[in-house]
Amino acid sequence: MKKGNVITYLGGPLIIAILAAVMQAFDQLLAAHTVVGSLLPGGGSWIAFQAWAVYFLGGCNVKGGVKGFVSYTTGILASIIIMSWGGSIGGFWGVPFAILVVVIFAISLEKFEWTNYVPALFIGAGAYFGIMGYIAGNAEGALQGNFWAYGAVELFYCLFGLVWGFLTIKIRGAYDAKFN
């Protein structure tokens, strides 16, 4: 880092702080004025923040972002299959057996270029299980337990976070090129 004033030093962190604040404000507006509030009453910025990190872990490029989105989608689909199938089997071993079988296929996708981002698959699945276990079960009306509606809102926030990762790299890169 070159010697400079406080703005030069704090510019990069300030860019990320502004992006995070805008993300949170946008999330609050979505939760207050759209169907997002019915699906995720507290908002979904927590999903977007995870996806933002997924963008960085995926190499800070569009290809890694696309792979992250594909893997999030795969994680959600695997979760839906696990919950549906495990519930149909029933009993203590229903869900563990469904996990055993589905995870074999899900992890086998690591052999292919566009589906080999296993950490994003697990993050997408984990967020989905969290939503379904702690939010969807307490929802009212038609949205209660709606696998597809909750999957769609998670993917929306995933895309939101991936775009924020892209913006971070572009804005921060331009800033660093000018000031550092």
Instruction: Say if residue 1's pLDDT is above 50.
Output: no
Domain ranges of the chain: 6-179
- The C-alpha atoms of residue 98 and residue 92 are separated, in whole angstroms, by 11
- The C-alpha atoms of residue 1 and residue 57 are separated, in whole angstroms, by 24
- The C-alpha atoms of residue 120 and residue 70 are separated, in whole angstroms, by 9
93-111: per-residue pLDDT in tens? 999 999 999 999 999 999 9
Instruction: Say if residue 41's pLDDT is above 70.
Output: yes
> What is the predicted pLDDT for the residue at 4?
62
- The C-alpha atoms of residue 72 and residue 131 are separated, in whole angstroms, by 14
Give the chain's length.
Answer: 180
Distances (CA, A) of 95 to 19, 52, 83, 84, 134: 39, 30, 7, 9, 17
pTM (2 d.p.): 0.88
